[in-house]
Amino acid sequence: MPKITVLPHPEVCPEGAVIENAPSGESICRVLLDNHVEIEHACELSCACTTCHVIVREGFDSLDEATDNEEDYLDRAWGLTPTSRLSCQAKIADEDLTVEIPKYSINHAKENH
């Protein structure tokens, strides 16, 4: 099973993370959440926002192509790159992945503490 390396993010994952044995066919977001990487996911993984946006630094070509709906939401994401995906929609295949969680997200409902 593939490995997911999460690059350090100052709030979500300050030390970074390595998730061994990520299940193929599961979304990146679900695997991160199941492994205590608390990535934002305001729409509960339903492809209705951009808060779970990630940049896939390695392994991007192993992912299925984004749907038109996902592409439409990605166009609204902060820090969009050619290898950006909504982690709730990107399903893990058979290659290791390295992902970066952008510094900012567009979440109008997020509470500041």
Has residue 109 been placed in a domain?
Answer: no
In a domain, 108, yes or no: no
pLDDT at 113 over 50: no
Give the residue-averaged pLDDT of 88-101: 97
Give domain status of residue 57, yes or no: yes
d(CA 41, CA 98): 19
In whole angstroms, give the CA distance from residue 57 to residue 84.
9
**Which span out of 3-7, 10-14, 109-113 was modeled with the highest average pLDDT?**
3-7
Q: What is the count of structural domains for the chain?
A: 1
User: Does residue 111 belong to any structural domain of this protein?
Assistant: no
Q: Specify the pTM.
A: 0.90
Q: Could you tell me the pLDDT band of residue 107, with boundaries at 50, 70 and 90?
A: low
Domain of 32: which CATH number? 3.10.20.30
Q: Is residue 112 part of a domain?
A: no
First-to-last alpha carbon distance for the chain, in angstroms, is: 38
Q: What is the pLDDT of residues 15-67, one digit of tens each?
A: 999 999 999 999 999 999 999 999 999 998 999 999 999 999 999 999 999 99
Predicted confidence band of residue 104 (pLDDT cuts 50, 70, 90): confident
Considering only CA atoms, which of 21, 31, 18 is closest in space to residue 98? 18
Dihedral in degrees, nearest 10, Cα atoms 91, 66, 50, 59: 50
Domain that holds residue 22: 4-100
Residue in the block written with tokens 């893990």: 92
In this prediction, residue 112 carries a pLDDT of 44
Say if 107 falls within a structural domain. no
Residue 59 lies in a domain: yes
